[in-house]
Amino acid sequence: MRLLIVGTLGGQLTTATKIAMERGASVTHAPGVSQAMKVLRSGQGADLLMVDVNEDIGQLVELTERERIHVPLVACGLGTDARAAVSAIRAGAKEYIPLPPDPELIAAVLAAVTEEREDLIYRDAAMASVIKLAEQVAPSDASVLITGESGSGKEVISRFLHSKSSRADKPFISINCAAIPEHLLESELFGHEKGAFTGAVARRIGKFEEADGGTLMLDEISEMDVRLQAKLLRAIQERVIDRVGGSRPVPVDIRIIATSNRDLGEEVRNGTFREDLLYRLNVVNLKLPALRERPADILELASHFIEIYAKANGTKALPISQEGRQLLLANPWKGNVRELENTMHRAVLLSTGVEIDAASIRMPDGSPITMGAGQQTAARAAYAAEAVSRDMVGRTVADVERDLILDTLDHCLGNRTHAAKILGISIRTLRNKLNLYTKEGVEVAGPGDVRAGSAEA
């Protein structure tokens, strides 16, 4: 977490600085707007600006927007001056923090910037296998290509890789190649010298230099023009970059993570992506399954988002009703995790009872999400499977195995031979297990009988 504090406020921001550093933030100080812009252009970067309300916040917002520097800004002022707070918000600040600073408030602001980026929530085996591979390759400097549908969590996995790497204490810088016009992307990546083109009012350090020592994530790299791909390939191979308008190469030490929601092999065949660049990027491929392909994650993520948005709106985090859970499990989630997050945010706002029920789970326009007969059947089956899985959490394998064997034996009315066939084990193994359970004082059904209190009794 990189925090840039702008202004002085009679020393009160010094106290805020100490609190932020105690919470793990890396803090840089700039006495005014012009110095803050120099810091941002220099490549030191920031994840959050905390600005003295007496500074020209409107000018700072205008300058960062003009130079395409995207960073959230909060204003700070002495006391609870409502007029100053309103003026700061109108000028472009996201929040107003009264000073002297409350340590918990500072912590909450820092958490709001970093929390959603770093959370990794999963339960499904399909996602667990991806995470296991990510953990294996994270300590290396190998380039990683993360593929998957939009909204499936590619940036979250990228940040996870960085956090588990030897570069974790260095910057993690991301750039969306699809969001920046083609003629500006080169400058964003490699930086530029003053006067290199119209609007280049000062030297600007690009994302490669800003990420030096850390990780650079190239989001939706398939959208990059093939001509710029050649310069990117050279930067990755030789570990040097050339600023636009520059006269000498600049060495960089970074780890590259690229993401794409397209099949880059197909893009190579179509001539829109360089094959040699694909080989450089695709040392390891992490293919994220769509949310509909990892159903065990749906309710876990839904509960996670309820916690986040209940806290943000000052309400109690409510449980999801059985009908609501079935509805969530039946939805195809074409927008993946991003769509689920927005849906649960709405549900928190719309819920009026003691649970988040199906009526609260709605489309963006407020219309209800409906299920066909086939979806209802699938939802009930998924809910039952999820309930069984949930009941097993916290139990040992031996306990689960014992219950499975005894329940199967009850189902077979104590017939050892039939039970062994259903369980896929030998009759000898079954008898050994049953003898062990009997010695432990566990009731075992005899031939033609079931245990008292069992489901079959």
Dihedral through CA 344, CA 217, CA 253, CA 69, nearest 10?
A: -80
Cα 3 vs. chain centroid, distance in angstroms? 21
Give the mean pLDDT per block of 10 residues along the chain (457 residues): 80 73 79 88 81 89 83 81 81 82 71 58 87 93 95 92 91 90 87 82 87 94 93 93 88 96 94 95 94 91 91 87 91 92 93 92 81 52 52 69 86 84 86 88 78 57
Q: What is the pLDDT of residue 42?
A: 79
CB 33 within 8 A of CB 41: no
- Name the fold adopted by 131-287: Rossmann fold (3.40.50)
CB 228 within 8 A of CB 184: no
**Residues 6 or more apart whose Cβ sits within 8 Å of residue 228:** 182, 185, 186, 189
**368/347 Cα distance (integer angstroms):** 11
CATH 3.65.10.10 is the classification of domain 2-113: no
DSSP 94-127: SEEEEESPPHHHHHHHHHHHHHHHH------HHH
Taking alpha carbons only, the member of 224, 188, 185 closest to residue 209 is: 188
Q: Element (H or E) spanning 126, and its range?
A: helix 125-137
Q: What is the pLDDT of residue 116?
A: 45
Structure-token match 């197909």, residue found? 266
Residue 426 zone, left/alpha/beta (φ > 0; ψ -120 to 50; rest): beta
Characterize the bridge pairing of strands 240-241 and 250-251. Answer: antiparallel
Share of the chain residues as helix, strand and coil, in percent rounded to the nearest 5: 50, 15, 35
Taking alpha carbons only, the member of 359, 142, 103 closest to residue 254 is: 142
Task: Write out the two tokens for 255.
Answer: 């780890």
**112/309 Cα distance (integer angstroms):** 11
**411/454 Cα distance (integer angstroms):** 9
**Residues 6 or more apart whose Cβ sits within 8 Å of residue 307:** 317
Give the Cα-Cα-Cα angle 17, 22, 25 (nearest 5 degrees).
65
Q: What is the pLDDT of residue 18?
A: 77
Architecture in CATH of 292-392: Orthogonal Bundle (1.10)
Cross-strand partners of 29: 5
Give the Cα-Cα-Cα angle 238, 240, 241 (nearest 5 degrees).
130
Q: Element (H or E) spanning 173, and its range?
A: strand 172-176
**105/20 Cα distance (integer angstroms):** 10
**Neighbour-count burial for 82-96, b at 16+ CB within 10 Å, e otherwise:** eebbebbeebbbebb
Strand order in the sheet with 48-52: 26-30, 2-6, 48-52, 73-78, 95-99
- Axis crossing angle, helix 182-190 with helix 226-238, rounded to the nearest 10: 10
Cα 26 vs. chain centroid, distance in angstroms? 21
**289/26 Cα distance (integer angstroms):** 35
Give the Cα-Cα-Cα angle 289, 290, 295 (nearest 5 degrees).
95
Task: Write out the two tokens for 101.
Answer: 């600073």
pTM above 0.75, yes or no: no
DSSP 412-424: TTT-HHHHHHHHT
**276/212 Cα distance (integer angstroms):** 24
Residues of the chain with CATH 3.40.50.2300: 2-113
Residues of the chain with CATH 3.40.50.300: 131-287
Architecture in CATH of 394-457: Orthogonal Bundle (1.10)
**87/56 Cα distance (integer angstroms):** 11
Q: Output DSSP code: residue 318.
A: P
Residues of the chain with CATH 1.10.8.60: 292-392
CB 416 within 8 A of CB 448: no
Structure-token match 């003009």, residue found? 66
Task: Write out the two tokens for 94.
Answer: 């996201």
